[in-house]
């Protein structure tokens, strides 16, 4: 079992074991996740989506499932710089977290797809990921009695691409993580954050104005931006590959910072392993790409302020999702 997964379990157990550990109520139970009119959420649909999410039969060689790149123990990332698909092929990009994906206005690093239903098809047919063909896959899954019966019962139709994508999307929308210490603090619990975390939040929001791109409550603006990680973006030029618009070179969707403590490595290509590296990149003003976002400018922090900023970022960690799986 992966060491980080064991660490997360350890954190949950330890926090529940000590009287001195403040137990915060689960705010996720009161969160309403939006859904499209053609895919209302219900428990049966979520259950079917969960089975499909963990089913390796969705890949061409039966070795890769959605969960291979979006592991629960890694906050639904995989802990790798870039993900591994069938035949040990490497993808170009880091696996983003699926937690709170139901709130996203755009999905994928290119910020070009509007719904989780559209996104679900992409990795299944991507040659270096799951490498399957929907025309071949759907009859195979329809031949699975459990899936065919569920499709008839829940959707009143044979198992098809509609059932596959709507079910997986419904499961992903159930992955809510909005009960971090920061959430309790914002809702009025002054004791939910310590002094360093509060100071870090003040730095983040008022002095550095990181909220321009990482706006609460989701800590993303859902847009593709060039954060100046490289002066030359090489083969992967970001959103440019979608529309071939030169203004999009180096633009990647701004990721959520929620659970950032456990979703390393960072950036679209996993090129930064620590939060310290990320802060160093931004405080240095970026690499100076000619399309770099103008909001990225150099700044200085004392060692104490860096620790405070990181303390705040870690206050966005919510492990309660582990107990609901």
* Residues 238-275: tens digit of each pLDDT: 999 999 999 999 999 999 999 999 999 999 999 999 99
pLDDT tens digits, one per residue of 8-31: 554 544 344 333 345 788 999 889
Say whether pLDDT at 42 is over 70. Answer: yes
**Beta-carbon contacts of residue 269 (< 8 Å; ≥ 6 apart):** 81, 82, 92, 93, 94, 236
The pTM of the full predicted model, rounded to 2 decimals, is 0.91
pLDDT tens digits, one per residue of 175-212: 999 999 999 999 999 999 999 999 999 999 999 999 99
CATH class of 34-173: mainly alpha
Q: pLDDT tier at 319 (50, 70, 90 boundaries)?
A: confident
Domain boundaries along the sequence of the chain: 34-173, 181-324
Write out the two tokens for 235. Answer: 């083969």
Q: Is 129 known to be catalytic?
A: yes
CATH topology for the 181-324 domain? Cytochrome Bc1 Complex; Chain D, domain 2 (1.10.760)
Q: What share of the chain has pLDDT > 70, as a percent?
A: 93
What is the mean pLDDT of the segment spanning 85-99?
97
**Residue 2 confidence (pLDDT):** 53
What is the mean pLDDT of the segment spanning 140-148?
98
**Residue 8 confidence (pLDDT):** 54
Question: Out of 88, 117, 126, 129, which one is annotated catalytic?
Answer: 129
What is the mean pLDDT of the segment spanning 47-65?
98
**Residue 138 confidence (pLDDT):** 98
**Residue 212 confidence (pLDDT):** 96
Say whether pLDDT at 142 is over 90. Answer: yes
């Amino acid at each position: 079992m992966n060491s980080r997964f064991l660490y997360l379990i350890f954190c949950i157990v330890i926090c529940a074991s000590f009287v001195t550990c403040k137990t915060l109520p689960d705010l996720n139970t009161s969160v309403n996740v939006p859904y499209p009119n053609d895919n209302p959420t219900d428990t049966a649909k979520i259950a079917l989506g969960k089975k499909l999410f963990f089913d390796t039969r969705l890949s061409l060689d039966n070795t890769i499932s959605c969960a291979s790149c979006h592991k629960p123990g890694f906050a639904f990332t995989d802990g790798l710089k870039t993900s591994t698909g069938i035949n040990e092929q490497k993808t170009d990009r880091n696996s983003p977290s699926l937690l709170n994906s139901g709130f996203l206005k755009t999905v994928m690093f290119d910020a070009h797809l509007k719904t989780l239903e559209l996104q679900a098809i992409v990795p299944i047919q991507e040659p270096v990921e799951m490498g399957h063909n929907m025309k071949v896959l759907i009859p195979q899954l329809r031949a699975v009695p459990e899936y065919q019966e569920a499709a008839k019962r829940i959707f009143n139709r044979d198992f098809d691409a509609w059932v596959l994508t709507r079910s997986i999307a419904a499961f992903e929308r159930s992955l809510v993580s909005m009960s971090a210490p920061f959430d309790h603090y914002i809702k009025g619990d002054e004791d939910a954050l310590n002094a360093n975390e509060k100071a870090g939040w003040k730095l983040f929001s008022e002095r550095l104005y990181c909220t321009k791109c990482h706006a609460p409550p989701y800590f993303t603006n859902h847009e593709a931006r060039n954060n100046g990680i490289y002066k030359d973006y090489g083969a992967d030029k970001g959103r440019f590959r979608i529309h071939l618009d030169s203004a999009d070179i180096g633009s990647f969707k701004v990721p959520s910072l929620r659970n950032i403590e456990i979703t390393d490595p960072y950036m679209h290509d996993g090129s930064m392993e620590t939060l310290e590296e990320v802060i160093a990149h931004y405080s240095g003003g970026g690499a100076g790409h000619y399309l770099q976002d103008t909001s990225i400018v150099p700044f200085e922090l004392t060692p104490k302020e860096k620790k405070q900023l990181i303390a705040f970022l870690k206050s966005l960690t919510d492990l309660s999702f582990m107990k609901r799986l």
